[in-house]
Structures are given as structure tokens and as C-alpha cells.
Amino acid sequence: MPIIFARYSEIGLKSTPVRLKFENRLRDNMISMLASDRVEALITKKDARFYIETADIAAAISSLRRVFGISSLSVAEVCTSEMEDICSTMAEYSLGRLKEGESFAVKARREGNQNYKSMDVAREAGSAIFLMNESKGVKVDLTNPDVVFFIEVRGGKAFIFGSYVRCHGGLPVGTQGKVIAEVRNEKDIVSAWLMMKRGCKLFVKGEKQPLLERYDPELKYGGEVSPDILGIVRSTSFSEFDRSAISGCELPVFFPNIGMNDEEIASILNMIKNESVPFQGTEQ
């Protein structure tokens, strides 16, 4: 059965104690998001990767791509790290994914103590794909291929996949403290979303925000300042900035979209709205 594996990027730059803390938070957020969307899944972690087993791949991806901290997802076939097994699995995987006359390439990477190099994996797997599809007139093109196959060898397993689902990256919600977000219009939604992406836990001051709840099923409401609140989030552009917006505030005031123009803000808002639509495919 195919498995989803999730990658993070920024978290990997942290020291070991901080990284482990952030990984645990990310895992909790993944579980919360999947539960909110009523997707049954089993999550395990090993070697800077999270592995998600589920019967509903599309629904799980639709949920997980909204979890901040995840940089990308892939749906992979799994086999052992033995070269023979990798080649046979890759050959079967390529069937139906290559059309007549198309070109292809194999990109491989490995971590562990195998008795081969990444280049060896790519060469041998590429040969297996070519032989399996030779009747279609396929050819190898390492510069501009029509189809790219990916292999990741980790420990005693190899993961074979054909695409990346790009996610938002950033930091897991809840790792960077609590802030109050004043949400009165669509620009404020974008401002609040950007702070969530940086790992902040929001307390929304204003009406319920279904769009933001899609990125944090445990979104909080309330505008009361307490000792554990680190700042206030507002929305403004540089040209509209007024110092009165920060006068009298005892806490820091954050304007995460101050350097954006209307087109950039609208682009993020449209993306947020579109992600409310269930995921139906894969992305490179």
C-alpha cells in the first residue's frame, strides 16, 4: 500500500533539543488536523521524516498540506533497500506513467551504510525503467525529461515516488508563543495567517474565522491581554502606516504584511480560499 511521507525544512536547522521539541509539536498538529478532517491515519517518525499510513491518500494530503512546518509531501511505494528490489519495484511503478516516445530521468538520494552510491541507484533503476518500457520508444533525458522518477533510500527501505506536493513550510503552530490577532477584514486574515506560519498561536479578536480554523482546528478567540501574550497582530501597508496604530500599546505590534502590495495580499488570500477545496491530484 502506498505511504505518504512528509518533509520539513526550517526545523532541521535547530539544535537537537529544540528540533525534537518542534518535531513533537508538528506531530501533534498533524494528528489534530487529520482528526478535525475525520481522516484515520497512523503517523510514525524516523530520520527527519514523518510517515503517514492511511486508506484515504487524497483526504490525508488535503489535511496535511495545511499544517505549518511541513515543506512537502510525497506519495510513495515502499520496498527494501536491496538494489534488485529497488529496480523491480521501480520498473513496475513506471508502467502507465510513461507514454509513447516520452523521455525520463531518475533522481536518487540515500542515507545510510548501503554498499552503493546514489548515482548507482539512479543508473540501475533507470536501466530497469528503460527495459520495462522499451517497446514504447522511451528515452533517457537528464536535462529536460518529460517524466522524473524519484528514489529516497533510508535505512533498510527505499521510497519510490513521482512528485512533490509543495506545502507552506514555516514553523509548527504553537512553537513561537501566543499573540492576539485583530481580524476585521480580508487583509487582517492574511496578516494573521502569516503569523501562524511563523509558529504563533493565535487568539483572534473578532468574529469566527473559518478560513483560519482550516489551518488550526484549535484556533482560540478572545482579545484579553494576559502575561503570556507576546504581541498584537494588525494589518497595514507601508504607505498606509500610521504611528497611531502602535501608540498606547503596551505590547509589541506586528504588521507581517506591511511590505506587501495589494496584489501580493490578494494572491495569498486566494490561495487560502482555494485550499478549502479538497485536494484532487499531485503537484511537482
Cβ–Cβ < 8 Å for 186, 272: no
Domain shared by 153 and 90, yes or no: yes
Task: Classify residue 220: in a domain, yes or no.
Answer: yes
186 and 262 assigned to the same domain:
yes
205 and 254 share a domain? yes
Residue 256 corresponds to which cell in the numbers above?
507581517
Q: 171 in a domain, yes or no?
A: no
Contact (Cβ atoms closer than 8 angstroms) between residue 177 and residue 25: no
Question: What is the CATH classification number for the domain harbouring 51?
Answer: 3.30.70.1510
Domain boundary among 36, 53, 71: 71
| Contact between residue 219 and residue 181 where contact means Cβ atoms under 8 Å apart | no
Nearest CA-CA partner of 164 in 58, 16, 13, 5: 5
Domain contains 235: yes
pLDDT in tens, 172-219: 999 999 999 989 999 999 999 999 999 999 999 988 999 999 999 999
- The CATH number of residue 239's host domain is 3.40.50.620
**DSSP letters along 35-50, please?**
HHTT--EEEEEETTEE
Residue 118 lies in a domain: yes
Q: Residue 46: its pLDDT value, please? A: 87
DSSP letter assigned to residue 112: S
Count how many domains the chain has: 3
Find, among 269, 206, 266, the residue nearest to 234 by Cα: 206
3-class DSSP assignment, residue 7 = strand
**Cα–Cα distance for residue pair 178/201, rounded to 1 Å:** 5
Which secondary-structure segment (H or E) carries 89? helix 83-94
116 and 186, same domain (yes or no): no
Looking at the structure, do residues 192 and 241 belong to the same domain, yes or no?
yes
pLDDT of residue 45: 93
- What residues does 220 pair with on adjacent strands? 203
Specify the pTM.
0.89
Q: Residue 240's domain spans which residues?
A: 178-274
Q: What is the pLDDT of residues 234-281, one digit of tens each?
A: 887 666 666 655 656 678 889 999 888 889 999 999 999 988 555 444
Q: Are 39 and 59 in contact (CB under 8 A)?
A: yes
> Do both 137 and 220 map to the same domain?
no
